[in-house]
Amino acid sequence: MIRSLGTHAIAPRTSPLPLAALSVPIASHGSADSRGPSVAPVSIDAARAASLIFKKQGTQPVQKCWEVPGTPMRGPLADSRGNLYASLSDQKVVVSLSPETGVTRWTASIHPTCRPLLTPDEKLLLVCADDDQMHALDPASGVELWTTAASGGLLNGADGHVYTWWNGLLSRIDLDRRSVAECTRLEHGFEAPPAVGRDGTIYGGAYNGRLYAIEPGTARVKWTHQTGGMLRNSPVVGPDGTVYAGCIGKALVAVDPKDGSGKWLTLTGHWIMPEPAIGDDGTVYVGSCDNKVYALDPTCGKPLWTFEADGEIRVRPVPARDGVLYVVSDRNRLYGIDQRNGAELWSTTADSYVHCPPAVDHRGGLVVGVNNGKTCAYRHTVTAERVQQQEMLHDAQTSDATTQAPPAPTIEQHDGWVIVGGVRIPVNHGASRSA
């Protein structure tokens, strides 16, 4: 029987087959990824096959688990354990929610002005508020640990630092000293928050279609790259430092961070409104107003596959570690796409327009903030069970490894003594005296 997820008990299968037994050949609806699968083939094949079985049995594979009042600013945030965090400006609070039920874990009475941000080590939850302070909270309890004077939106840089962005001013926060360490004035008409590279270089796009690389502190322009259209979204820095930017000129460009030279350019059928996203294997995903999502090879920009939705893609796609690419269209539809080949695994319709990227929890599900005054959680039951079984297998393997016999103690032999595991034991003393 499939386990209960959230507040919904899932109907039992007709036969208790393990997911591995469901790995049957399924006709692909997208072109094959020539670079090989980014996730275990058995897992995704099983998810697709199980989805078909659910449909044949008349069971809805995507379920709405819960909804709670409040629309998160720029969407909710999920940590690596699935706990959710949201800034609810209308209620003047920051909250943490249970991913299973939507029940509030804690509430902080802060009037937020931005989406919260977890530090890379997830030890702090940061949020700027209308008191012109950045508040550092304990993610587990919501207790305020400290504050510092800072305003605007928050972002993590590829250099490991946290930044605030407000009115053309990018400020680097020193979390150890709990203060602003450096400010850079950016006067190039950036429409969206910039990105920060591993070396601290600031990248931002402007109305004039230029991508700028700027030296932190001095604001000296290191180079510019003309993309061919207005840049309405944030650039993204890849694992190797490559800078990706999508423009109104119907193109996604990849730029060398050293000198601003173009690595490649891939055209789409219409404007690119959201910023691109980078998968764990480096694949670049970008949505377009031509209703399509493109998966691009980061080395050359060649489309590995495309997926066509029922409406424009104005929200950033979310590649999750469960092997699914989560996509929303401007017609309120949510999609789960196979990251390997672009095949649709499932889709469902939200209650109203989805204006933000979904927050995906670690068990293979998604939580979406929508603009009807509610935050709604959906879960694809097959993906969730597959991830749960994989976690159970991992836990069992880890348990087996920890229950193995401890290593044999070290033995050192000395004249008249043996030291076993640090304990001195006298041996053959009588024999030594008689000799």
The upper half-sphere exposure of residue 431, i.e. CA atoms within 13 Å in the direction of its Cβ, equals 6
Beta bridge partner(s), residue 278: 284
Q: Is residue 150 part of a domain?
A: no
Does 269 reside within a domain? no
| Whole-number Å distance between alpha carbons of 326 and 346 | 10
DSSP 301: -
Question: According to the model, what pLDDT value does residue 178 have?
Answer: 96
In a domain, 426, yes or no: yes
Q: Give the count of domains, the chain.
A: 1
Q: Is residue 429 part of a domain?
A: yes
Question: Residue 128: beta bridge partners?
Answer: 134
Residue 413 in any domain: the answer is yes
pLDDT tens-digit readout, 103-142: 999 999 999 999 999 999 999 999 999 999 999 999 999 9
Name the residue range of residue 429's domain. Answer: 409-434
Q: Which helix (H) or strand (E) holds 384?
A: helix 381-402
Residue 277: what residue type?
A
- Residue whose C-alpha is closest to residue 194's, from 227, 226, 222, 233: 233
pLDDT of residue 340: 94
Residue 368, domain member (yes or no): no
Whether residue 374 is contained in a domain is answered as no
How far is 147 from 167, CA to CA, in rounded Å? 21
Q: Report the C-alpha gap between 117 and 195 in whole angstroms.
A: 15
pLDDT tens digits, 219-270: 999 999 999 899 999 999 999 999 999 999 899 999 999 999 999 999 999 9
Give 10-residue mean pLDDT values along the chain (435 residues).
34 33 31 38 44 43 88 91 92 94 95 96 97 97 97 95 95 96 93 95 95 96 95 95 95 97 96 95 96 97 97 95 92 94 92 88 80 86 79 77 60 62 55 39
In this prediction, residue 38 carries a pLDDT of 39
Residue 304 has what pLDDT?
98
pLDDT of residue 396: 81
Would residue 414 count as lying in a domain?
A: yes
Q: Please give the full DSSP string across 232-254, using - where no structure is assigned.
A: -S--EE-TTS-EEEEETTTEEEE
Quote the pLDDT of residue 15. Answer: 33
* pLDDT recorded at residue 143: 97
pTM of the model: 0.77
With left for phi above 0 and alpha for psi between -120 and 50, is residue 217 left, alpha or beta?
Answer: left
- Give residue 140's pLDDT: 97
What's the confidence (pLDDT) of residue 56? 40
